[in-house]
Amino acid sequence: MSFEEDDEVVLHDEHSEHDGEVGIVQSVSETMFGDEQYVISFEDGQEAGIAADSLTAAEETYDEDDEE
């Protein structure tokens, strides 16, 4: 699955301090092999060079602003 800028995603990387957190795609770049890599922004930081297979789309239910 590929993502676009401003998409909300969940990071799945057990080696990251942001594992399981919802973030926003800040930028998308293509590697020399044609794969997409992402820069994801979280509340308390950012992760760069994230492969698409480490991300899933965040469900709308994660949006706490809708609950208020």
Identify the helix (H) or strand (E) that includes residue 11: strand 8-11
Tell me how many helices (H) and strands (E) the chain has.
0, 5
* pLDDT score, position 43: 95
* pLDDT score, position 61: 46
Rounded-to-10 torsion of CA 39, 54, 5, 43: -60
* pLDDT score, position 59: 82
For the chain, the domains span 8-60
Q: Return d(Cα 48, Cα 51) in angstroms, integer.
A: 9
Per-residue pLDDT of the chain (68 residues; tens, 9 = 90+): 789 999 999 999 999 999 999 999 999 999 999 999 999 999 999 999 999 999 999 985 445 555 55
* pLDDT score, position 1: 77
User: Phi and psi (nearest 5°) for 63?
Assistant: -75, 100
